[in-house]
Amino acid sequence: MKQKVVAYGRVQEAAQRRLGETYEVTHFPHGVPLSDPALQAALTEASAFIGGEFDVGKELLDLAPDLKVVSNVSVGYDNLDIDELTKRGIAATNTPDVLNDTTADAIFGLLLAAARRIPELNNYVKGGGWQGLLPDSKFGVDVHHKTLGIIGMGRIGEAIAKRAHFGFDMKILYHNRSKKPELEKTYNASHRSLNHLLEEADFVCLMTPLTEETYHLMGKPQFERMQKHAVFVNGSRGQTVDEAALVDALNNGEIRAAGLDVFQEEPVSVSHPLLQMDQVVATPHIGSATKETEEAMSMVAAKNVDAVLQGSRPPNLINHDVELS
């Protein structure tokens, strides 16, 4: 009898077909709640759960006694209860590396859009505002030759540094738990304390994972340290920023603009104060949202599932202490 796999959300068809060659795959679209009887029935017999956009904790795991692996189609895994998975002997995996360049493109695009006020000026033209010489009040700021501060120099942070250094001749500062000598040499980058980075940078990109330590890492004291002409970009998780403090910083002129791909609550409400501001560029958590990258992520996630179900340790194991059966 084939082992059974529950696929949830945006697991691409090619990955489902690959898994379907060996396993019995049942797919549920995004939005189906855990209370759904069909989902509960499928979980009861499942050996693997693959997907994203779904919290995996005790409630789900109690429904899935035979589960061997939870394969997250994402590099982040704050939706997974890692301790509970490890305690139950269930492998937790993710999809690092494959989305680095795509996400870096998106985050640097946000930086450019906020600096040059591209969405605002797009609306200005389409709304009939362009009737002559562009007034100085609509000018943006340069990106080239400026100083970029990256908070959280993981793989995506490094990809952003690469674009900034080679493409825009920017000075690179970074704040990270550990120094990276090779990166410093490659991109002429300098390590800084968080406070010093905020004080020196013209652009600040927040790229940390969400942990207890990084929750509201950027709040009122941090925004007050930034330069008044600085642009803030968040490509990490919405919970790493105190959004009320960001609203105040923008309203009070403590920083110039913000580019946000993530929010505390997603989807963000259209009435959110940040969305009422021309100096905020907002995108709907699109870091990896290209056809090519989503397909590649799904295939990596499928390989993680296959490895565990075939009795091997998966290539992208998160909970290294887990004892797999």
Whole-number Å distance between alpha carbons of 318 and 85 = 10
What number is the average pLDDT over the span 167-182?
A: 98
Any idea which fold 100-282 has?
Answer: Rossmann fold (3.40.50)
Q: What is the pLDDT of residues 1-37, one digit of tens each?
A: 899 999 999 999 999 999 999 999 999 999 999 999 9
Which tokens sit at 45? 């017999």
Sequence spans of domains, the chain: 4-97+291-310, 100-282
What number is the average pLDDT over the span 96-112?
A: 97
Whole-number Å distance between alpha carbons of 52 and 243 = 25
* 294 noted as active-site residue: no
Q: Running DSSP on this structure, what letter comes out for residue 278?
A: T
Q: Which of 27, 225, 237, 256 is catalytic?
A: 237
* 285 noted as active-site residue: yes
4-97+291-310: CATH number: 3.40.50.720
Check pLDDT > 90 for residue 53. Answer: no
* 84 noted as active-site residue: no
- Residue pair 50/314 in contact (Cβ under 8 Å)? The answer is no
Q: With pLDDT > 90 as the criterion, what percentage of the chain qualifies? A: 98
Q: Which of 145, 266, 292, 313 is catalytic?
A: 266
What number is the average pLDDT over the span 238-243?
A: 98
Whole-number Å distance between alpha carbons of 205 and 231 = 9
Q: What per-residue confidence (pLDDT) applies to 142?
A: 99
User: Which are the contacts of 282, defined by CB distance < 8 A and separation ≥ 6?
Assistant: 259, 260, 261, 263, 268, 274, 275
- Residue pair 114/258 in contact (Cβ under 8 Å)? The answer is yes
Q: What per-residue confidence (pLDDT) applies to 325?
A: 76
Same fold, 4-97+291-310 and 100-282: yes
What number is the average pLDDT over the span 241-247?
A: 99
